[in-house]
Amino acid sequence: MASYDDKLIELCEKAKNTKYELQKLSNEERNKALYEVADNLIRHSADIIAENDKDIANAKERGVSLPLQDRLMLNEERIQAISEGLKQVASLPDPLGDVLERFERPNGLKIEKVRVPLGVIGIIYESRPNVTADAFALTFKAGNSVILKGGSDAINSNIAIVKYIKEALKTVGVNESAVGLIESTDRETTTKFMQMKEYVDVLIPRGSKNLIASVVANSKIPVIETGAGNCHIYIDKAADHDKALSIIINAKTQRLGTCNTAESLVVHKDVLDSVFVDAAKALREKKVELFADRSSLEAFSDAVPASEEDFATEYLDLKMSVKTVDDIDEAIAHINRYSTHHSDAIITEDKAAADKFLNEIDSACVYVNASTRFTDGFEFGFGAEIGISTQKLHARGPMGLKELTSYKYKIIGNGQIRG
Amino acid sequence: MASYDDKLIELCEKAKNTKYELQKLSNEERNKALYEVADNLIRHSADIIAENDKDIANAKERGVSLPLQDRLMLNEERIQAISEGLKQVASLPDPLGDVLERFERPNGLKIEKVRVPLGVIGIIYESRPNVTADAFALTFKAGNSVILKGGSDAINSNIAIVKYIKEALKTVGVNESAVGLIESTDRETTTKFMQMKEYVDVLIPRGSKNLIASVVANSKIPVIETGAGNCHIYIDKAADHDKALSIIINAKTQRLGTCNTAESLVVHKDVLDSVFVDAAKALREKKVELFADRSSLEAFSDAVPASEEDFATEYLDLKMSVKTVDDIDEAIAHINRYSTHHSDAIITEDKAAADKFLNEIDSACVYVNASTRFTDGFEFGFGAEIGISTQKLHARGPMGLKELTSYKYKIIGNGQIRG
């Protein structure tokens, strides 16, 4: 694949050169481009669907499961939704140019800390071709060039979508290298891409645990880790029975496959026979299988004994682990140990317990009496989301447009030198 | 070294467990500990100096240069300075607990974004043993545990300093595992440390280009890259002659070995025979050797022809490259290409040129009519500095206490579930 090496470098160089042009565009110019892209995808939806058909045919040939085929599939309606998403991103406030701080030093230097684009963002993702347009829209609105590496199963769809994004950018006089797609589908190329530190400022992986772990292990480019969510709900001894039940059912069963879905119940021993048993029954009605420690299994026998591994598992399935604790300190220690530090909740009417939990749980989002399912850029009112960061560097929790920016210091002097 | 593997894991586990305790300490408790550490180092200065003598003796035996021996050396005066540094960090405002944002969603969820510690910070550094106390003070004041990996040449000094830090922490009832020192000096251990993603939240390398490159290449832990500074001064056609001269001399010669020292002059062709020639003469008087492109060599023959490589070189020496440009656009393109994106300055009286430079130069600190030497946490008024970030993720430019923190979202509901 030596031939693609040259292409990869060319792609990276173009993205880097273009980032300087993008930084000069006004919010209006960026929005105009996003609208043109939105319209152009609709205009060429027949062609995009034809290319998507090839991906679907390949998937069928490879015996891919029906749900995965569905994730891959594009139709008029879905392209309409992609197009509306682009316009929605355009309608968001400009994340750039804010003066974050302004101060003057005793020597007269005037210093401004201003928000600027990150530069070139690399996004490595899987399956769904709508991410292609979505990731472009968010990174572009925040003034960045983007290099996309989608899943091989969606390669024809992605090539078509990027083609019509580029065409639209050209139409409005924006450099089409604002977006680049890595068309090679071999792993070697992806690994090489992760070494392109000279060109790419930040890498964001979106997808399975394995994909993310591989990017973290191999990248020389700074990475924002997203996604993994082993989320807990702690039923405190002062939990309200009805709130607990509705939150637990919602957090576990509203959508099984998302990172903010609850995977583990932590139960204060005093409410094992009351709140917990009723919650367990309600979960069983929803076909959720419980993996319970000894005490919770005694309280609710229609469960399976939990192993140590269960507490560390993000099931993404009709499964949930149960851990009994003697007090809130044990609950906090357990959660801090097993959580992926994404989202964890306490159900309690006790203000002191709530405050303790909020302060001591080491997660991006810590809830009192609400479902963990709210950890989401749209639910937080950011109007968009590129992912949910589970690391502490740069951005934590839901990432919107502001999280796709950096800052710089502008320092104005009149001849100052250092003594 | 299988035996040190166990120690390394023990060190990491202790740091991780201790981070939760540290997050509960008040600012007063943290300050009290810092004061006790400051006093304890003075109390045991004789022992620290005795241990330092071993390092100096080893350095002499290995034929280490006198300047490097001097960097390594501790005496009563230097320990006094370290001790005062600790008290000075204690006197800074508490970086924790600030509510960064507070908003309420239409469904009634109350969301607060609050500043919290990063958790466990790893610092890999070289030579000077004062960094050991300094890095502890900054990370601890910001509520973090720290694991230190110093240079092997300072190992005896570092062991002694950490011993008396731990002793002081114990005295005031703080878990001594707030600080850990990797005592093994082999490279294997350092490489293994960089894989300890499960325990360490952030890794900050401080030292040579090679050290930093090795950490970036090998770490699975998120890294904040610090240090490299190929800094430029652009003499615009509207430059003030005297400001240009004094800023250039200051930025190049005030201290040769620092990352904010200027390494390259970019000269508008219209001022080659005026401002540039006088600056060149003044630099020659200070024994600075100029590596000049063709046009600047014609204007000032007492220079050496520059190679392409010169423009990419951070000399840290009495050397400076010179590039002539036709206009400000060429200057900006040259700087964005060769700069390490640390600090770059324009000398101009033209407001439009200054604004263009401020907006389009892609560096952490962009100056108008001031020396690049001001890029420094103390000069910026942060009261402290752990390093100068040259990456765009998390922190950019001088990093003080706030840059050693993260944030989390606290979300208060009253039973909300997602529809």
Res A128 pLDDT > 90 = no
Report the residue of chain A nearest B221, measured CA to CA: A216
Residue partners of A295: CB distance under 8 A and separation at least 6? A269, A272, A324
* CATH for A273: 3.40.309.10
Q: Is residue A210 part of a domain?
A: yes
Q: Both B100 and B247 in a single domain?
A: no
Query: In whole angstroms, what is the distance from residue A412 CA to residue A408 CA?
Result: 13
Q: For chain A, how long is the longest CA-to-CA vector?
A: 78
**What pLDDT shows up at residue B2?**
58
Residue partners of A410: CB distance under 8 A and separation at least 6? A111, A112, A114, B358, B366, B368
pLDDT in tens, B151-173: 999 999 999 999 999 999 999 99
**Quick one: which of A335, A159, A308 has its CA closest to A234?**
A335
Q: Both A200 and A298 in a single domain?
A: no
Mind telling me how many Å the CA of A215 is from chain B's nearest CA? 9
Q: Is residue A52 part of a domain?
A: yes
Res B414 pLDDT > 60 = yes
**What pLDDT shows up at residue B210?**
87
Left, alpha or beta for B63 (phi > 0: left; psi -120 to 50: alpha)? left
Query: In whole angstroms, what is the distance from residue A276 CA to residue A268 CA?
Result: 9
Q: What is the DSSP string of B395-406?
A: --EEE-SGGGEE
Q: Is residue A343 part of a domain?
A: yes
Contact assignment for A393 to B406 by CB distance below 8 Å = yes
Mind telling me how many Å the CA of A419 is from chain B's nearest CA? 8
3-state SS, residue B389: strand
* Residue A2 pLDDT grade (very low, low, confident, very high; cuts 50, 70, 90): low
Number of domains in chain B: 2
Q: Is residue B169 part of a domain?
A: yes
Q: Both A310 and A183 in a single domain?
A: no
Contact assignment for B366 to A408 by CB distance below 8 Å = yes
**What pLDDT shows up at residue A367?**
98
Q: Both A182 and A103 in a single domain?
A: yes
Q: Both A131 and A41 in a single domain?
A: yes
* Mean pLDDT across B325-351: 97
Q: Both B161 and B48 in a single domain?
A: yes
Q: Both A36 and A155 in a single domain?
A: yes
Percent of chain B, pLDDT > 70? 99
Report the residue of chain B nearest A382, measured CA to CA: B105
Q: Is residue A135 part of a domain?
A: yes
pLDDT in tens, B171-224: 999 999 999 999 998 889 999 999 999 999 999 998 888 888 899 889 999 999
Domain that holds residue B280: 231-374
Report the residue of chain A nearest B255, measured CA to CA: A418
Res B6 pLDDT > 60 = yes
B217 touches chain A (CB under 8 A): yes
A240 touches chain B (CB under 8 A): yes
B365 touches chain A (CB under 8 A): yes
Q: Is residue A388 part of a domain?
A: no
A227 touches chain B (CB under 8 A): no
Q: Both A179 and A248 in a single domain?
A: no
* Residue A1 pLDDT grade (very low, low, confident, very high; cuts 50, 70, 90): very low
Alpha helices by DSSP H, listed for B172-235, are: 187-193, 209-218
Contact assignment for A408 to B418 by CB distance below 8 Å = no
Of the candidates A105, A119, A246, the beta carbon closest to that of B381 is on A105
Q: Both B293 and B406 in a single domain?
A: no
**What pLDDT shows up at residue B226?**
87
Query: In whole angstroms, what is the distance from residue A4 CA to residue A15 CA?
Result: 16
pLDDT in tens, B287-331: 999 999 999 999 999 999 999 999 999 999 999 999 999 999 999
B60 touches chain A (CB under 8 A): no
Q: Both B242 and B368 in a single domain?
A: yes
A250 touches chain B (CB under 8 A): yes
**φ, ψ of residue B335 in degrees (nearest 5):** -65, -45
Q: Is residue B383 part of a domain?
A: no
- Report chain A residues whose CB lies below 8 A from the CB of B355: none
Res B1 pLDDT > 60 = no
* Mean pLDDT across A198-221: 90
B103 touches chain A (CB under 8 A): yes
* CATH for B88: 3.40.605.10
* Residue B383 pLDDT grade (very low, low, confident, very high; cuts 50, 70, 90): confident
Mind telling me how many Å the CA of B411 is from chain A's nearest CA? 5
The answer to whether A327 touches A268, Cβ cutoff 8 Å, is yes
- Report chain A residues whose CB lies below 8 A from the CB of B409: 364-366, 380, 396-397
Report the residue of chain A nearest B329, measured CA to CA: A20
Left, alpha or beta for B173 (phi > 0: left; psi -120 to 50: alpha)? left
Contact assignment for A242 to B415 by CB distance below 8 Å = yes
- Report chain B residues whose CB lies below 8 A from the CB of A411: 365-368, 370, 374
Q: Is residue B416 part of a domain?
A: no
Whose tokens are 């139709």? That residue is: A75
Q: Both B21 and B143 in a single domain?
A: yes
**φ, ψ of residue B184 in degrees (nearest 5):** -70, 140
Residue B287 CB-density burial (10 A; 0-12 exposed, 13-18 middle, 19+ buried): exposed
Query: In whole angstroms, what is the distance from residue A284 CA to residue A271 CA?
Result: 18
Contact assignment for A354 to B409 by CB distance below 8 Å = no
Mind telling me how many Å the CA of B55 is from chain A's nearest CA? 33
**What pLDDT shows up at residue A21?**
94
Alpha helices by DSSP H, listed for B91-218, are: 130-141, 155-171, 187-193, 209-218
Q: Residue-wise over B184-223: b if at least 16 C-beta within 10 A, else e?
A: beeeebbebbbebbebbbbbbbbbeeebbebbbebbbbbb
A258 touches chain B (CB under 8 A): no
A367 touches chain B (CB under 8 A): yes
Whether the full predicted model's pTM is greater than 0.80, yes or no, is yes
Q: Both A39 and A171 in a single domain?
A: yes
A407 touches chain B (CB under 8 A): yes
